[in-house]
Amino acid sequence: MANRRTSETALTNASLAAGPKWTYTHRGYALAQSFRQLRQRKFASFITLMVFGISLALPAIILFSAGSLAKLGNHNIEQESLTVYLSMQVNDLDGASLAQQLLLREGIDRTSYVSRDEALAMFKEQSDIGDALAALGNNPLPGAIIVYPDVDMLGAVGLKQLANSLAMSPSIDRVQFDFRWVKRLQAVLSLARLVGWVLAGFLTLSALLVIGNTIRLELLRKQTELDVSRLLGAKRSFLVRPLVYTGALYGFLGGLVACVIALITISWIKTPADQLSGLYQSAFQLEMPTASQCFTVLLIATCLGVLGSIVSLARPSNHLLPFGTKPV
Amino acid sequence: MIRFENVSLEYTPGRFALHDVSFSQPAGAFTFLTGHSGAGKSSLLKLIARLEKPTAGFISIDTIDYDTLKPRHEPLLRQQMGIVFQDNQLLNDRSVFDNVALPLIIGGYRYNDIKKRVAAALERVGLASKAFELPIRLSGGEQQRVGIARAVVAKPKVLLADEPTGNLDAQISAEIMQLLMQFSASGVTVLVATHDQGLLETFDFPQLTLHGGKLVDIHNSSQATAHTQNTWQEQPSSQPAARESRIKRRQTSSRHGE
């Protein structure tokens, strides 16, 4: 009787030793092995995650600020206007009428007529030599029309064409706009974008290689387990799945690290960047990443982890091939 | 029933690990595979477990003909076998329970079945109270018993043991042998490779003796006449014409490295 009770207790103990139910399915087992790998090799996993996260941080920052930078390019042109100086013979009535006529032309969003008196008042207000003009006796400033181009006509080429067409009018003396500045700004922005994406590409590739290398090393480390599993009748999918899951886990956690680094970096540079923008009277503001942008980075990082592990496992290994075959 | 017909295994040209081996082992029999180191014992076990493929001859277990077995079905074949190693091959980073459960997880068993079967297997090898332990904390004999529990937990038809008592003292070896005999008594075909003369003298079971890759002796136990299922037979050398031509064709193709 006592023996039977002892036996039953032992059996119960053995059953209690079972882990959570989900770890005894193929997928659950693979996931549990991936977590076990991270838990058992904390320092190595931490280093790998940091390398992966830092590699992905710059691409993440570029992705997060791409929207703001795109707005910066368009915004500066949008805020710019052409100043059309009228000839001295054009009176205020004709000037205002011309401003209305220009609105009918393609590529012009709105116009604003500045009469000669208004121009003088503004000059006096904004210039230290405003009082000197009073000594001249009459107003030397011409009337002007401020032309705000249509958004569809944005870009240096469109602005140049508009300015040329306006300058052909006999009532117009001169059209002023700094095309070089627009061209330079756009060139700098497009170069920065290109360099940014190339750098992002290289860093993403390095992140992929980091994952691939980690998984390959993991494959070598787990050779006993893989060989035992093969002897017990495991198929290739059973052998490979924990490694692919490990890659995905590294990718996801590395993506989290990248997001955190990017968020900290953007929050650090946001204030100085906004101040600099303010100095140039620009409405540009560096925006903090949205939840969907963070989710996109996590998704891409996880996919990179899976891809890295698949690429790594595509190379034949003795521990994954059927028995009796050799890697080519 | 395990059948070998004119089986050869040639690792490099001219160097035979096994040469023209033929025998048939009845289902449920307990048999020793003996011979000195390098005689071909492990190679023969590897052929049965399909870890190696013969360069000539035919192997079958029950109705499974190895010659027609597709590579994708090999894992399923191995799931029907239990293998016990000299060095246990236990995974030291997980518990005894999880080690024994591994074949069942691979086989896709349900959680409740896994719990029941592992508990029963550990109970049978006397280690139910050690289910929580890591294998590395167990003695050599206990580790070997965990290895046996893992090999039998999926109720295999064939149990292959390669020097299962190689690292153990006489008393523990006897305990391990008793366990293997129990499984044989329950209908499992057991094939134990060993060169331990003491073991062979203590336990009176049929013996297949290999020397230089050749089967040199088949020794039936003294009880063999009483238990027909334990009677060993050497395969007749004469083969049906069709099978002979298949053998020749196989030998020719293996020489050409196909």
What value of ipTM does the predicted structure carry?
0.79
Say if residue A70 is in the same domain as residue A219: yes
Q: CB–CB of A181/A281 below 8 Å?
A: no
Substitution target in B123, B127, B137, B145 with the highest count of A β-carbons within 10 Å is: B123
Is A11 within a domain?
Answer: no
Say if residue A68 is in the same domain as residue A193: yes
Structure tokens that stand for A97 in this block:
């009428």
Bridge partners of A147? A82, A111
Say if residue A276 is in the same domain as residue A188: yes
Q: CB-CB: which of B94, B97, B106 is closest to A233?
A: B106
pLDDT-derived band at A301 (thresholds 50, 70, 90) equals very high
At A155 the pLDDT is 63
Say if residue A209 is in the same domain as residue A70: yes
Is A232 within a domain?
Answer: yes
Which of chain A's residues have a Cβ under 8 Å away from the Cβ of B49?
231
Domain assignment of residue A309, given as a range: 23-75+184-314
Say if residue A214 is in the same domain as residue A126: no
Distance of CA A196 to the CA centre of its chain: 9
Q: What's the whole-number mean pLDDT along residues A229-244?
A: 92
Say if residue A261 is in the same domain as residue A161: no
Residue with tokens 């027909």: B228
Interchain proximity B119–A21, CB inside 8 Å: no
Least confident of A51-65, A110-124, A145-159: A145-159
Say if residue A172 is in the same domain as residue A191: no
Up-side HSE of residue A286: CA atoms within 13 Å toward CB?
20
Is A197 within a domain?
Answer: yes
Say if residue A211 is in the same domain as residue A92: no
Nearest to A298 by CA among A235, A233, A248, A245: A248
Say if residue A51 is in the same domain as residue A194: yes
Q: What's the whole-number mean pLDDT along residues A163-172?
A: 85
Say if residue A107 is in the same domain as residue A170: yes
- Domain segments of chain B as ranges: 2-80+156-255, 87-155
Say if residue A40 is in the same domain as residue A70: yes
Min Cα separation B200/chain A (Å):
27
Is A321 within a domain?
Answer: no
Say if residue A165 is in the same domain as residue A269: no
Is A244 within a domain?
Answer: yes
Does pLDDT of A28 surpass 70? yes
Which CA distances in Å does B131 have to A3, A14, A133, B246? 19, 5, 101, 50
| Mode of pairing for the β-strands spanning B30-34 and B189-193 | parallel
Q: CB–CB of A141/A116 below 8 Å?
A: yes
A26 touching chain B per CB within 8 A: yes
Min Cα separation A23/chain B (Å):
9
Interchain proximity B132–A13, CB inside 8 Å: yes
Which of chain B's residues have a Cβ under 8 Å away from the Cβ of A323?
50-52, 74
Does pLDDT of A115 surpass 80? yes
Q: CB–CB of B21/B54 below 8 Å?
A: no
Is A10 within a domain?
Answer: no
Edge-to-edge strands, sheet with B2-12: B15-25, B2-12, B56-61, B64-65
At A200 the pLDDT is 86
**In whole angstroms, what is the distance from residue A45 CA to residue A167 CA?**
67
Single out the residue in A142, A176, A210 at which a domain terminates.
A176
Q: CB–CB of B218/B225 below 8 Å?
A: no
Backbone angles phi, psi at A191, to 5 degrees: -65, -45
A21 touching chain B per CB within 8 A: yes
Per-residue pLDDT of chain B (258 residues; tens, 9 = 90+): 889 999 999 888 878 889 889 988 888 889 999 988 888 898 999 999 998 889 999 999 988 888 888 888 899 999 999 998 878 889 998 999 999 999 999 999 999 999 999 999 998 888 888 999 999 999 988 998 999 999 999 989 899 999 888 777 788 888 888 888 888 888 889 999 988 888 888 888 888 999 888 888 777 655 443 333 444 555 544 344 444 444 444 444 444 433
CB within 8 A of A326, min separation 6: which ones? A318
Interchain proximity A18–B118, CB inside 8 Å: yes
**How many domains does chain A contain in total?**
2
**Which CATH topology does B2-80+156-255 take?**
Rossmann fold (3.40.50)
At A35 the pLDDT is 92
